[in-house]
């Protein structure tokens, strides 16, 4: 299971949560107003004990029924005011915090689109999905409740303690007795809970990954009868998450036991001591009632400390996980200068002198995956290859020779480790990625379709400049007219990953997507591998007309595909070892002849 970066050991929850400020700043007025209203509402509740003191020492002691009714009306109005103010606070924060969550989710999605393919290769999709759903939900809940009430409860406790000390400082000191052990417990709890919360949220990501893979791979699971092993894997992860959640519950129960028990014991002690003093005439009954009412009013602000700290730690962990993705370096819109590769010798001068209309060139290209062992051999090693303007070249090699990797370097899905690539003499790292990918169209061996209509999937390759005529032309080239027999024709929704279509149908639509924009450069990674013999022949006939007007690099495994190209390059051990026509290489290169021999024998039979 892919792992995610571990949290920093010296992480500060406050510093981490402060990173949310750019998102909160646009709605800060409403949030600050809501916090102020909540403070006023909470402090309004602390006036109630003072009214009780007045009632007990005044109207009740004097048997003044009118005063009692006046006091009761005052209590009713204070309670109603408190409820209305808290309702107003909730109304103020609901809409802006939903906006904050939506903005953060949109930013995350946009950033994911800009991150290099190497990042997506390292990260499990479930981990990314959990950051965009569960973690952002936790952040919205934190901004809506714990963030405000950490402030509100702190102010309430401070005001309440002040009122109790003013009523009777002796009883106030008794109630304040548990403060130090409670604070020590909170510090210990915060450090431990942060680690467990991080582990739980990472496990949620792992669990999401397994569910997603099981849904997308349901045909494989059923086809190989692996549902029991998948269920066991899911159960193991689920029980691991359950154990972590129980650990969190035990930590929360421990802090609640301390936070609830010690203050309750202190209130009990204050009650006994206050009663004795009232009996001795040292304290009025109203003062004792007001003191105890204030202490009881502070029970929720004190008891909620553990809950609020727990949610704050989970929010800090969610923020950390969110920014782990947002801090990843995206692809730049353009890289100027000498590009990402180191080149060799006079590379800069050669690039400056390259003429226009030069086709596609690989200049000493070396590539090693970023997370590969530095001592391991590169996937591609000093590849030099020239595809002339209007020429199509087939790229042939054994499995693992680096063919797909080489094609991925042209649209800069990966960056070269050294060397450089030019299109018509221009270094691809010197042009904006948007421009580069408008010039170069790609079709991968494993076709990916989106949950959209057939037409939308195909026209995705045109950059918004194509019409229905272009769509029909591309479908004809790819021999994908089968779409007209679908229930809504080109408007038919193909479903997630296009799994409602056959492999050959998906591959033909992917090919249509590559050619619909009439690209100047075409990169095809074994585009006909899933087609039957007759469909392949028809697609090849139509594709030849397209290839006559473009510069193309085609990964091929079969002679029928190779014969589409003007020339062939043999890739072996990460290097181009031979270039020539199909027949030339058959007669002069034993490795190439061996690679083609299986299919040739099949053709003869």
Query: What confidence tens digit (pLDDT) does each residue in 202-224 have?
Result: 888 888 888 877 776 776 777 76
Q: How many CB atoms lie within 10 A of CB 467?
A: 10
User: Residue 28 contacts by C-beta under 8 Å, 6 or more apart in sequence?
Assistant: none
Tell me if residue 580 falls in helix, strand or coil.
strand
Pairing of strands 567-572, 575-580: antiparallel
pLDDT at 386: 92
Cβ neighbours of residue 410 under 8 Å, at least 6 residues apart?
Answer: 360, 421, 428, 440, 442, 521, 523, 553
What are the helix and strand counts (H, E) for the chain?
Answer: 24, 10
On the question of pLDDT at 323 being above 90, the answer is yes
Instruction: State residue 349's pLDDT score.
Output: 35
Instruction: Specify the range with the lowest mean pLDDT, choosing from 5-9, 65-69, 349-353, 467-471.
Output: 349-353
Q: What is the band of 344 on the pLDDT scale with cuts at 50, 70, 90?
A: very low
Share of the chain above pLDDT 70, in %: 90
Residue 10 pLDDT: 54
Proportion of the chain above pLDDT 90, given as a percent: 6
Is residue 180 over pLDDT 70?
Answer: yes
- Residue 383, SS3? strand
Summarised one tens digit per residue, pLDDT across range 491-525 is 888 766 656 677 778 888 888 888 888 888 888 88
Length of the chain in terms of residues written: 605
Q: What is the DSSP letter of 556?
A: -
Confidence check: pLDDT of 343 > 60? no
pLDDT, residue 498, reads 59
Report the DSSP pairing between strands 392-397 and 551-555: parallel
pTM score > 0.85 for this model?
no
pLDDT given for residue 351 in this prediction = 41
Spatial CA neighbour of 58 closest among 275, 242, 257, 285: 285
Query: Alpha-carbon distance 147 to 34, whole Å?
Result: 11
Instruction: Quote the pLDDT of residue 500.
Output: 67
pLDDT of residue 160 exceeding 80: yes
Domain 347-604 in this protein, CATH class: alpha beta
Q: Does pLDDT of 418 surpass 80?
A: yes
User: What is the predicted pLDDT for the residue at 363?
Assistant: 92
From residue 404, how far is each of 60, 118, 371, 540, 553 by CA, in Å?
90, 14, 18, 21, 11
Check residue 56 and report its DSSP letter. Answer: I
- Per-residue confidence band for 354, with pLDDT thresholds at 50, 70 and 90: very low
- pLDDT of 215 reads 73
With a cut of 50, say whether residue 319 has pLDDT above it: yes
pLDDT of residue 417: 87
Q: What is the DSSP letter of 58?
A: I
Average pLDDT over residues 105-134: 86
Strands ordered across the beta sheet of 551-555: 440-443, 521-525, 551-555, 392-397, 567-572, 575-580
- The pLDDT-based confidence of 287 (bands split at 50, 70, 90) is confident
Alpha helices per DSSP H over 168-298: 169-176, 179-216, 218-223, 227-279, 285-297
Give the side-chain half-sphere CA count within 13 A for 513: 24
Q: Is the pLDDT of residue 341 over 60?
A: no
In this predicted model, which residue has the larger pLDDT, 351 or 359? 359
- Checking if the pLDDT of 604 tops 60, the result is no
Q: For 85-109, what is the mean pLDDT?
A: 86
DSSP designation for 576? E
Question: CA distances (Å), 420 to each of 6, 340, 341, 541, in order?
Answer: 35, 8, 6, 34
Identify the three-state secondary structure at position 257. helix
pLDDT of residue 362: 92
Taking all residues of the chain, what is their mean pLDDT, rounded to a whole number?
Answer: 81
Q: How far is CA 54 from the centre of its chain?
A: 58
Written out in words, the top-level CATH class of the domain with range 18-326 is: mainly alpha
Confidence of residue 116 (pLDDT cuts 50, 70, 90): confident
Bigger pLDDT: 411 vs 444: 411
Phi/psi of residue 122, nearest 5 degrees: -85, -30
pLDDT at 170: 86
Q: Is the dihedral of CA 551, 552, 553, 559 positive or negative?
A: negative
pLDDT at 334 over 60: no
* DSSP state letters, 303-367: HHHHHHHHHHHHHHHHHHHHHHHHTSPPPPS---TT-SS---TTHHHHHHHPPSS--EEEEEEEE
At 598 the pLDDT is 59
Question: Is residue 109 predicted with pLDDT exceeding 80?
Answer: yes
How far is 37 from 92, CA to CA, in rounded Å?
10
| Burial class, 115, CB count within 10 angstroms (exposed 0-12 / middle 13-18 / buried 19+) | middle
Across residues 85-103, what is the average pLDDT? 85
Distance separating alpha carbons of residues 431 and 535, to the nearest angstrom:
38
Helices 179-216 and 227-279: crossing angle in degrees, nearest 10, is 160
Of 59-68, 98-107, 371-380, 386-395, minimum mean pLDDT range: 59-68
The structural domains of the chain, with segments of one domain joined by +, span: 18-326, 347-604
What's the CA gap between 537 and 384, in Å, rounded? 31
- CA nearest 364: which of 338, 382, 346? 382
Q: What was the pLDDT predicted at 352?
A: 37
């Amino acid at each position: 299971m892919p792992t995610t970066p571990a949290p920093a050991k010296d992480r500060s929850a406050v510093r981490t949560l402060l990173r949310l400020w750019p998102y909160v700043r646009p709605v800060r007025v409403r949030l600050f107003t809501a916090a102020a209203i909540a403070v006023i509402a909470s402090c309004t509740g602390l006036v109630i004990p003072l009214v009780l003191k007045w009632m007990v020492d005044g109207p009740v002691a004097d048997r003044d029924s009118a005063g009692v009714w006046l006091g009761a009306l005052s209590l009713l109005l204070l309670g109603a005011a408190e409820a209305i103010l808290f309702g107003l606070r909730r109304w103020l924060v609901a809409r802006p915090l939903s906006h904050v969550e939506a903005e953060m989710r949109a930013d995350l999605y946009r950033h994911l689109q800009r991150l290099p393919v190497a990042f997506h290769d390292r990260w499990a999709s479930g981990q990314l999905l959990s950051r965009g759903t569960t973690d952002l939900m936790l952040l919205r809940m934190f901004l809506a409740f714990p963030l405000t009430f950490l402030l509100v409860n702190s102010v309430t406790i401070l005001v309440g303690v002040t009122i109790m000390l003013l009523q009777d400082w002796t009883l106030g000191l008794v109630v304040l007795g548990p403060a130090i052990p409670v604070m020590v417990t909170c510090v210990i709890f915060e450090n431990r809970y942060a680690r467990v919360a991080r582990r739980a949220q990472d496990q949620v990501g792992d669990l999401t990954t397994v569910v997603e893979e099981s849904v997308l791979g349901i045909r494989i699971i059923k086809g190989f009868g692996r549902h029991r092993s998948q269920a066991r894997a899911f159960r193991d992860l689920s029980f691991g998450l359950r154990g972590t959640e129980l650990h969190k519950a035990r930590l929360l129960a421990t802090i609640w036991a301390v936070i609830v028990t010690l203050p309750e014991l202190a209130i009990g002690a204050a009650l006994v001591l206050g009663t004795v003093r009232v009996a001795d005439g040292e304290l009025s009954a109203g003062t004792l009632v007001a003191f105890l009412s204030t202490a009881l009013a502070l029970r929720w602000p004190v008891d909620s400390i553990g809950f609020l700290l727990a949610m704050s730690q989970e929010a800090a962990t969610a923020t950390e996980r969110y920014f782990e993705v947002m801090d990843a370096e995206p692809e730049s819109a353009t890289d100027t200068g000498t590009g990402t590769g180191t080149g060799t010798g006079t590379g800069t001068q050669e690039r400056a002198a390259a003429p226009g209309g030069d086709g596609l060139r690989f200049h000493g290209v070396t590539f090693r995956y970023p997370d590969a062992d530095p001592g391991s051999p590169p996937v591609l090693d000093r590849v030099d290859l020239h595809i002339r303007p209007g020429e199509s070249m087939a790229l042939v090699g054994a499995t693992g020779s680096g063919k797909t990797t080489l094609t991925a370097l042209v649209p800069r899905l990966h960056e070269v480790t050294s060397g450089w690539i030019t299109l018509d003499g221009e270094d691809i790292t010197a042009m904006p990625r948007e421009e580069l990918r408008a010039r170069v169209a790609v079709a991968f061996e494993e076709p990916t379709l989106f949950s959209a209509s057939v037409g939308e999937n195909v026209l995705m390759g045109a950059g918004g400049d194509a019409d229905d005529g272009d769509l029909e032309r591309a479908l004809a080239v790819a021999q994908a007219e089968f779409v007209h027999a679908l229930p809504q024709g080109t408007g038919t929704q193909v479903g997630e990953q296009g799994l409602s279509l056959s492999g050959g149908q998906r591959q033909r639509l992917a090919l249509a997507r590559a050619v619909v924009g009439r690209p100047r450069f075409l990169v095809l990674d074994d585009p006909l591998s899933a087609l039957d013999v007759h469909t392949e022949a028809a697609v090849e006939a139509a594709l030849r007309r397209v290839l006559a007007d473009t510069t193309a690099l085609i990964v091929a495994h079969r002679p029928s595909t190779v014969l589409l190209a003007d020339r062939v390059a043999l890739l072996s051990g990460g290097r181009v070892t031979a270039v020539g026509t199909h027949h030339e290489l058959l007669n002069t290169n034993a490795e190439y002849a061996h690679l083609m021999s299986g299919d040739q024998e099949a053709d003869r039979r």
